[in-house]
Amino acid sequence: MILVLIDHDRGELDALSLRALTAARKLSDEVHAVVIGSAGAGLSTIVGEYGASVLHVAHHDGLTDYTPAASGRALVQLVSTLKPEAVLAAGTPRGNEQLAHLATILDLPMAAECSEITLGNPHTVVRARWAANLMEQALVHSELLIATVLAFAVEAEPSPVSSVVQDFDAVLEPIDLLVRILGRGGEAAKSGASLADAKVIVSGGRGVGGPEAFSLLEELASLLDGAVGCSRVVTSSGWRPHAEQVGQTGTKVAPDLYIAAGISGAMQHIAGCKNSKTIVVINTDPEAPILAYADYAIIGDLHKVLPALTEAIKATKG
């Protein structure tokens, strides 16, 4: 049996968890899912659609928001009861962190961001290194495999089964709740598509020039029913919130169209956007590294190109 951690943000599913469920089904005919916190109980239908016959729900008064150490402790409790062959999660910052706590408590190895998994003695994994510029085959010498699934390495494929909910009370110590979210501020206003779900993303880097110029990206994204993204240097400068950062330490995306304006193309950013179906680059530098990943490139000033694109799209919409 494979146990899959289904990550959620106050009840809102991280869709990459469905890819982890699909990966689990390739390893075993019996797949269980687990959510941390009562807010995730409503996900039983969707996990059943993707092959989980049981959804385990960890309950505790302290599990009202993201609490990584408490997640690890609750997972230890469930693993000791179920004795699964493997525990999987999506290879996101949150998925990696929660399973790292599980592995630490159990004093076991963890394999992060695996594109391939073969169970055995030892287990064999292929995992991404150096922002997925290098794929490493490794042996994991542990009876229980703890691993995360590389984002977008597996397509989410439905396989409906009847799913039941099994509740359990998480036994936590005060130290497990030491690191937790007390409040949220500075997040982008939620209008339109999110980065994770958007079919179109218009993303900006240092070359945009400042926070005010992002209005050009916002207008274009709105016309295309898309979302606005940014590079790490932009969020580090305080121009845009971290929630919009695309990259290895931000959100990994795979839209139908990714428009990169004023982004040079550091390896960490490419790791977040290279799964896009079509990449359009707007840059004044014909030698910018991101051009190596572009399907189409416009060598020019984004402050002229973006308004021209916007007007052209408005014209086609009448």
- Break the chain into its structural domains and give their ranges: 2-177, 200-316
Mean pLDDT of 140-150: 97
Rg of the chain, C-alpha, whole Å: 21
Cα distances (Å, whole numbers) of residue 172 to 7, 72, 76, 84, 224? 19, 10, 11, 21, 46
Does the structural domain 200-316 have CATH classification 3.10.20.30? no
CATH superfamily of 2-177: HUPs (3.40.50.620)
Instruction: Give pLDDT tens digits for 177-207.
Output: 999 998 877 554 444 568 888 999 999 999 9
**Which residues are within 8 A (CB) of 180 and not within 5 positions of it... i.e. 6 or more apart?**
62, 65, 66, 67, 70
Instruction: Give pLDDT tens digits for 277-289.
Output: 999 999 999 999 9
Q: Please name the helix (run of DSSP H) or strand (run of DSSP E) that holds residue 55, with its range, or none.
A: strand 54-59
Q: What is the pTM of this model?
A: 0.85
